[in-house]
Amino acid sequence: MNKKTLLSTLLMMAAFGALAGQPVDTGHGGAVATISGPASEAAMEILDAGGNAIDAAVAAAAALGVTDPFSCGIGGGGFMLIYSARDKRVIALDHRETAPAYFNPAVFQPEGTPLPWREAVPHGISVGVPGTVRGWHEALARYGTMGFERVLAPAIRIADEGFPVGPNFHRINALNEAKFARFTSTSELFLEDDRALPLGRQFRNPDLAETYRQIARGGVKSFYEGEMARDIVAAANQPPTRPGVEVLGARMTLNDLRDYETRLRQPVRSTYRGYEIYGMPTPSSGGIAVAQALNILETFDLSKLPRDEVEHLYLEASRLAFADRNAYVADEEFTDVPREGLLSKAYARERAQLIGPAAARGPVAQGDPYLFQHDLSVPLRPRPAALGAEPAHTTHLAVADREGNVVAYTFTIESWGGSGIVVPGRGFILNNEMTDFDFSGPHPNVAEAGKRPRSSMSPAIALRGGEPAFTIGSPGGATIITTVLQTIVNHVDLGMSLADAIAAPRMSQRNADRTQVETLLGFPGSAQAVALERLGHQWTETDQIGAANGLQFNPDGSVTAASEPLRHGGGSAIVQKQ
């Protein structure tokens, strides 16, 4: 797709979103916010049938695997935060993909030097062991009330009946034409004469419907053992390429799938202006980075500052948090991360002293969180690394039920279109999560067998007085962290409703020379931009940043679900009415 066509598509999406208005709904029942109408309706169907928030979240996620197959699906993995109303606590469920047993840093250095990131994506070597189905199983078995047979039913129906190709589906499909054309199974599903399916075409995925049926009948083992597992391994090891296309195949085994495990982890907990903020621990870097940036911001009295100075401090706090994130954070099962130091309020006060009245001139150095560790066994500092390529894709959803259970769930196949490899006869794309590793070391995030690559996915649940106050999450690669952080600042410090905080123009500073801003909402040249430029900030432009969803729990006992008005074509928000 050329730039002119892409711009026209974006304008059409913007016009459609503006006419539709922002998806916001308020009521006293269960609530859901996703980026897809059918996915939100799938969740609501389960809530209406007596399911809880965990049941409904899995139903919505399965539906998103049909309607948003380029962003997520059972060929990938994710992070689910659950607030249990019964236990009054937050649970972190990690079903991130893992590196197969054969994996090591040399895999991305076939000729002795690291592959360019984009060249590494459309190959079998980019595929990690999928964790999504195992994660869904654990969530339902531990915290749900329904099984796969019931919660997958809406997604099966959507895949069988299909839906018209909309602007966003077409846009992402068109951006992936070259990658999809490499693989016979993928081009058969998503292309027509090597071009993206046209707008309005009814898209059906009967293979995925049958895959879901097999999981509904056979449970989690039907995915990780037997015929389906053999198909996944074969697709990764010997991708179904067109004649003349050369790929680097994986060396995944059936044992890699059979031995995959989810992890129940203690969430990252921090406090901010009377809120408890819960996020994901490693291998996500989001929970730590958001908490650290908020700790830095908490050293300033933002209530007395004009908006441009608040946003200046947000950008600089994000810059400092990313300097540390890039240097220190990786999978703690393989790396000693100085988590205690990074989350220390005292360390935040030290880092905050580096923020001046004007923007920093380029990247800043990482700090020394080890001085704030009580655990003196943590080794010497690793070598810092610059932020590498990380695609701005994925999806997020939020669900709550009448009993007070809440789910904030981000899951992904990594790039738009993942590795580009559709498992033949199965209807889903395999991830390219192995490209989230650093391709060479020494670095905490270097690839190792069984390791989970560092992620930026940052689902967040905020409590106040021990009760849910709001949730937020987004896709967007490394911009997920800044989207979640900025939305919290918009809501808590600038006094916006959660819906307005989600809709506001986004700025993403990730310890770079310039801050990334979006053109879709007209930020460049705006009064907001000019005010920040006076403080030394400079911009690099992109069309849009993230696609957030969230829930706001109101003082009167109602809940407001909110999604995007324009980004990603606009989202969906529904609340049950009593």
Q: Where are the domains of the chain?
A: 3-263+389-453+549-575
Is 394 one of the catalytic residues?
A: yes
CA distances, 354 to each of 74, 200, 257, 296, 309 (Å) = 44, 53, 47, 10, 15
Which tokens go with 322?
Answer: 């990313």
HSE toward the beta carbon, residue 558, CA cutoff 13 A: 12
End-to-end CA distance of the chain: 46
Amino acid 479 reads T
Does the annotation list 126 as a binding residue? no
pLDDT for the residue numbered 577 = 84
pLDDT for the residue numbered 375 = 64
pLDDT category, 14, cuts 50, 70, 90?
A: very low
Q: Report H helices in 68-176.
A: 117-120, 132-143, 148-151, 153-161, 167-175
Do 31 and 24 meet the contact criterion of CB atoms below 8 Å apart? Answer: no
pLDDT for the residue numbered 10 = 39
390 or 76: whose pLDDT is higher? 76
357-369 confidence digits (pLDDT tens): 999 999 999 999 9
Does the annotation list 456 as a binding residue? yes
pLDDT tops 60 at residue 183: yes
Does the annotation list 558 as a binding residue? no
pLDDT category, 227, cuts 50, 70, 90?
A: very high
Do 567 and 479 meet the contact criterion of CB atoms below 8 Å apart? Answer: no
Q: Order of strands across the sheet with 460-464?
A: 24-27, 559-562, 549-553, 467-473, 460-464, 275-279, 268-272
pLDDT category, 442, cuts 50, 70, 90?
A: confident
Catalytic choice (394, 471, 479, 483): 394
Do 31 and 551 meet the contact criterion of CB atoms below 8 Å apart? Answer: yes
Does the annotation list 217 as a binding residue? no
Q: Which residues of 59-69 are buried (b: 16+ CB within 10 A; e: fewer)?
A: bbbbbbbbbbb
Nearest to 133 by CA among 9, 18, 222, 22: 222
pLDDT for the residue numbered 259 = 98
pLDDT for the residue numbered 13 = 38
pLDDT tops 90 at residue 319: yes
Consecutive H or E run containing 324: helix 307-328
Q: What mean pLDDT comes out for the span 277-303? A: 98
pLDDT category, 311, cuts 50, 70, 90?
A: very high
pLDDT category, 337, cuts 50, 70, 90?
A: very high
HSE toward the beta carbon, residue 523, CA cutoff 13 A: 23
pLDDT tops 70 at residue 547: yes
pLDDT tops 90 at residue 93: yes
pLDDT for the residue numbered 377 = 56
pLDDT for the residue numbered 112 = 86
pLDDT tops 90 at residue 391: no
pLDDT tops 90 at residue 164: yes
pLDDT tops 50 at residue 135: yes
Phi, psi of 284 (to 5 degrees): -75, 140
Flag the least confident range among 18-22, 95-99, 402-406, 447-451.
Answer: 18-22
pLDDT for the residue numbered 12 = 37
Do 45 and 399 meet the contact criterion of CB atoms below 8 Å apart? Answer: no
pLDDT for the residue numbered 394 = 86
Average pLDDT of the chain, as a whole number? 93
Q: What mean pLDDT comes out for the span 87-99? A: 98
**Pairing mode of beta strands 406-412, 395-400:** antiparallel
Does the annotation list 436 as a binding residue? yes
